[in-house]
Amino acid sequence: MQTEIGQLQEAVVSHTVVDQAIGVVITLGGLRPEQGFQLLREVSQHTNTKLRQVSELIVEWVRSEQLPDEIRTSLDKALATARSI
């Protein structure tokens, strides 16, 4: 039972971070929410980084103004593509 509770708590935290990152990218790019999630998935896939980790990095980027180059490059490309659609 403790393991299951821990997994559920982890899922809630993960979902929250992803939602926050979606908010960042839709604000940054002027996108719709569904585009924000798709953009995060693209960055995750192109950088071979878990979606939650990409989300954590983007949320932290708002505070620290630091984002790994690989994530930043992929994010910039994905934003440019999403804006042109």
Residues 6+ away with beta carbon under 8 Å from 58: 21, 24, 25, 40, 67, 71, 75
> Within 10 Å of residue 71's Cβ, how many Cβ atoms?
19
The pLDDT of residue 33 = 85
The pLDDT of residue 5 = 52
| pLDDT one-digit tens code per residue, 11-21 | 444 678 999 99
Q: Please report which confidence band the pLDDT of residue 9 belongs to, taking 50, 70 and 90 as the band edges.
A: low
Residue with tokens 């994905």: 78
| pLDDT one-digit tens code per residue, 26-77 | 999 999 988 999 999 999 999 999 999 999 999 999 999 999 999 999 999 9
